[in-house]
Structure formats: structure tokens, C-alpha cells
Amino acid sequence: MPIKDTYRITDLDSRSKLDDGADKPARLAVIGWPVAHSASPQMHQAALDALGMDMRYIRLEVPEGQTAEAFERMHKLDFVGCNITVPHKFAAGAYCDELGACAKLLGSANTIRFGKSGSMGFNTDGMGFVNSVREKFGAELSGLSVVIAGAGGGAGQALAAQCIESGVKRLVLVNRSQGKLTQLVEHLSQPEPDTVIIALGFDSPDLARHCLESQLIVNASSVGLKTDDPSILPAECIKAEHWVYDAIYKPPQTPLLKLAQQAGAKTTNGLPMLIHQGVISFKHWFPGAEPLPYMRQAMQP
């Protein structure tokens, strides 16, 4: 029987069912709903193979509400750990027995390490973002003025927290749900940061002005994943001097990035962030490993 491209929670019934037709046991996974688009197995498997680790990294499709069940099943099947994507990051944070500093601050996790004493959760989005901004734009976050569109979700909150920690000068948070922004601003303001924090809805008449006064614009939402999605921000928010960062990596060019390129702005999609946060996740599972060159090579177009 050929191995599957995407697994379901019922495939975790037994080790024999999960590994049927495979030459290596599945011991790492990315879980999400949906998850078929995830490129994580491609880069993680390349690193595992290059480093001589006898295991597979799989996609695991888990419906919302079944997160804890999936974790329990993976733990019983001796998984090393997993990555978590939408919509499970906050449920993952609640499930873990212990959380790293960033995951504890946000209450969400995108990486779990299973162990005999329980599960440890981490959030690697923030540092993956920092490393990719440095790589693609040759800049540090410190002192920048940053706009995060879609700031209320798990990724947006992680990037916002990282911006505060990195000392951005001004942080503009944009979201459809004002309630999520109110909670986020209260959270980020404890203790009072040096960063000026501004919260806006997408319908705010001040949106374009705040965008044009910023240097880095980030889409942290899922708007752009579907082929018929509009741009998360209108054209009047983008100028040639901007750096525009879309955390989506598939498709590689989103409507926002197309608008930015038409305006003459520098752009990047989320692939560098995926690679850098993947490296950090890998090191949580396998301390001392150096997977970056293998992951980069695997993600070459």
C-alpha cells in the first residue's frame, strides 16, 4: 500500500495502521485544518534524512475540537513532537504541561515536544520572523514602524509580541475583530513597553495614513491562501518605500504581494519564516542538530 500524502486522526489508532507501506515510522507531524498545503514535511524530512534519523514527518489533518485527542494519540505512539498550524495553536498552548516563555506569554504554541514527563510547548513564529526579516530585508526590527494586518490570530499575536520584545518604535495592529485587538493591546502593554501601540479596524479612515507612515507591512492572516481572496490591504496603503511581508508561502505570490510589487515595494512571502521557525522547532526536538542547510536546499524552487 502506498503511503499517504495526508493522514487523519483515525490513522493514529495504531502504529501498524499509521506506518503501513512505509519504510520508516512516523514520529513527527504538522497538524492543522486544513493541512494539505503545508510544506513542513518537505523541509523537515530532508533534514531528518540528511542527519540519518530513522523517522518520517507527516501531515495530519485534525478537525477543530479534536486537538487534545490528536496529541494524546501521538504521545501514546511515541511521537517525538509536532508542529501546529491554524486553527490549533491556542488549543495546543492549553494542552501542554509546560510552556516556553513566548508560548506562555501568548497562550499559544506552534511546536510541541513529547516526553516521558509530559509535553512541552513552544512558539517559534516570533524568532522565525526576526531571522527572516534580517535575511530578506537586511534589517533588525528594533526602531522600525510596523503594521500587522490580521493581528488577532495566533500568528499575528506571536509577531506582535516579538515586535514589542524587539523594540519596534511603533506597532500598528489591524484586525476585523476589535475585541481581539483590545485584549491583545492590554496583554502587550504589561509591563508598559517603549513601543507606541495603535489598534485599528480594517474600516478605519486612518488605516492608509498609518500604513504610509510605516516601514514594514506584514500580513499575518490567512487572507491570500485562496485563489479568489482579495488583498488584505488596499492599494492606497502601499508605497514604493515599503517592505511588505506576507506570512503566507503557498501560493508564493498573494494579492497583497502583487499590489506591493506593482507599487515598487520590496517583498517576501512566508517561506523564509517557515524555514527559520522550522529550524528552531527541529532544535527543540533534537538539541545540537543543525538542519538549516538541508531545509533551505529542500525548499529551493
Return the axis-axis angle of helices 154-166 and 178-188, rounded to nearest 10°. Answer: 30
What Å distances lie between residue 9 and 17, 32, 46, 212, CA to CA? 11, 11, 24, 45
Q: How many other C-beta atoms are found inside a 10 Å radius of the C-beta of residue 250?
A: 14
Active-site pick, 17, 76, 89, 258: 89
Determine what percent of the chain falls in helix, strand and coil, rounding each to the nearest 5: 40, 20, 40
* Number of residues that this document lists for the chain: 301
Contact 112, 96 (CB under 8 A): yes
For residues 71 and 73, give the distance between their C-alpha atoms in angstroms, rounded to a whole number.
5
- Read off φ and ψ for residue 53, nearest 5 degrees: -95, 120
- Specify whether the CB–CB gap between 97 and 109 falls below 8 A: no
CA 55 to chain CA centroid, Å, is 23
CB atoms within 10 A of CB 121: 28
Dihedral angle sign, alpha carbons of residues 200, 203, 205, 208? positive
Task: For residues 224 and 251, give the distance between their C-alpha atoms in angstroms, rounded to a whole number.
Answer: 8
Identify whether 89 is a catalytic site residue.
yes
Note whether 5 and 38 are within 8 A (CB).
no
Q: Known catalytic residues?
A: 89
